[in-house]
Amino acid sequence: MKKILLKKKDIICEMILIKKNKNKISILIETDQNNNCYSYSIKINENNIKNEKGESLNILYYLEMNKNNELIKKISDTEIIIEFNIEKIYKIKNDSNELNNIKIENIKDNYIVSIKLIRNEYYVFWRDPNFETTGGFGKTLEDCKLFCYEEANMSLYYERSIENALKFIKTKINDKLILISNIGKDLSGKRFVEIAREIYGYDLIVLFYSFSKYDFIEEFPNCLYTRKREIYEKYITNFNKEGLKELKKEVEKEYNIKLNGFPNDISLENYFMKIDNSFSLSSSFNSGNFIRHVYIKNGNKYLYMSKDKKLILVDKLNKECEWDVTILEDINFENNNTSEGNTITLFSNNYYLKDYFGDIEGYKYVEIWNFKREGNYIYFISKNDKNNILSIKGKPKLKSIKKIKESELFELIDIKDDNYNILSNISFHSVSHNISNQVSSFSLDN
């Protein structure tokens, strides 16, 4: 794998070149947040492009030789065109796919090759806290990312936390995604998918790639499950109605399970339906506050999670008073309150707020609270004991639900997220990022 850093106006582009055998080359171009982090690709059989001596066009050689020139001639929402010069004329086989996407012209004794890359219909998004970790599973994830580039010719983005993952896919609501997640002992992967589906307004298809297996998988709508790399590879390379149905049969046989919730034929049909020849599936997009970036205020004070996992109150706002919360809410319209099914997670400074047998502290795994509304305020109910709520009178603690007082009522004050930074930070996790502007070999082991 080789790569070249390019720029077109204010758009930074990363061109990834993959040549796994003598004559076949894959080209993938990823753009930055100034072009919505789109990706474009093409696969070329160089044997279909030859000169009068019968020699195949060595595209990789010419792209390297022209890397300091303006290779990118056009960028749009649907395609990218790259151009470079060659010394002699080559002809394209009339019955080859290359004829549709490559042009070779003689302009004033210069031979110009134009290659059109089509915007990828899908991108792969993978949520798993084990990315960038050492050990066998971390290496497995790295190999899976590399496969996505080399074989599927698609971009793969990943994120470790639920909160950042939700923010990213929300900013890319107009793109089709192939969704993958772990499950985790805390069921954080399940919650991530549930909220992602609320945001998109339909049951996104998901592959749970996890060494943990839970009973909910068999009834969870539109989900597949595996702990085998081969099934993951089939998932992203056969992401279509028939391919997924066949994969379901393989998963059921492999793990002796019955996926009663997959596929839902109506949702599957809608999932792969083209809308006005675009890639958008955002017509059902729900702008509800399922993921919020907030301050948590009580009276004139703000909740703050310290680095030693202590929940404290501060008088003055600072950066570390910021929280990310995920919310799943069932509305009871008769009294404008909410049921006990309403859940919330509260995450700040790398910890989740946790009721640890009555002690309130930070915790590294997802911890779910229930909540109810009281006018414009909410109060947090322990999931361990539904009779206890969070109180910050004196030392933060749990108290029995009787009469709700001011010290138990909290206001969530939204902080505007910077979508530019969200896209930039997650696209930074691309398998090929952090490159120089030189063409060089690439290895995940380095």
* Residue of higher predicted confidence among 240 and 438: 240
**pLDDT above 70 covers what percent of the chain?**
89
- Predicted local distance difference test score (pLDDT) of residue 150: 85
Q: Which two tokens stand for residue 91?
A: 């002809």
- Residue 426: the pLDDT is 81
Give pLDDT, residue 191.
95
pLDDT for res 287: 55
| Residue 421 banded pLDDT, cuts 50, 70, 90 | confident
Residue 67: per-residue pLDDT: 67
Dist CA 42 CA 382 (whole Å)? 53
Express each pLDDT in 98-122 by its tens digit: 999 999 998 877 899 999 999 999 9
pLDDT band at 264 (very low <50, low <70, confident <90, very high): confident
Structure token digits, residue 362: 């930070």
Least reliable range by pLDDT among 23-27, 36-40, 427-431: 427-431
Task: Tell me the pTM.
Answer: 0.87
Q: 436: pLDDT confidence band, cut at 50, 70 and 90?
A: very low
Domain coordinates in residue numbering, the chain: 2-120, 122-287, 291-414
pLDDT attached to residue 257:
92
Residues paired with 336 in a beta bridge: none
Q: Looking at the predicted structure, is the pLDDT value of residue 226 above 90? A: yes
Among the residue ranges 162-166, 223-227, 328-332, 378-382, the one predicted with the least confidence is: 328-332
pLDDT at 274: 65
The answer to whether 203 touches 267, Cβ cutoff 8 Å, is: yes
CATH fold label, 291-414: Trefoil (Acidic Fibroblast Growth Factor, subunit A) (2.80.10)
Q: For residue 438, what pLDDT is reported?
A: 34
138-188 pLDDT, tens digit per residue, is 788 888 988 998 889 999 999 999 999 999 998 888 888 999 999 998 999
Query: Could you tell me which CATH number the domain at 122-287 has?
Result: 3.40.50
Q: Which residues contact 247 (CB under 8 A, 6 or more apart)?
A: 224, 231, 234, 235, 238
Amino acid at 152: A
Q: Residue 20, Cα to own-chain centre: how many angstroms?
A: 27
Reply yes or no on whether the pLDDT at 334 is more than 50: no
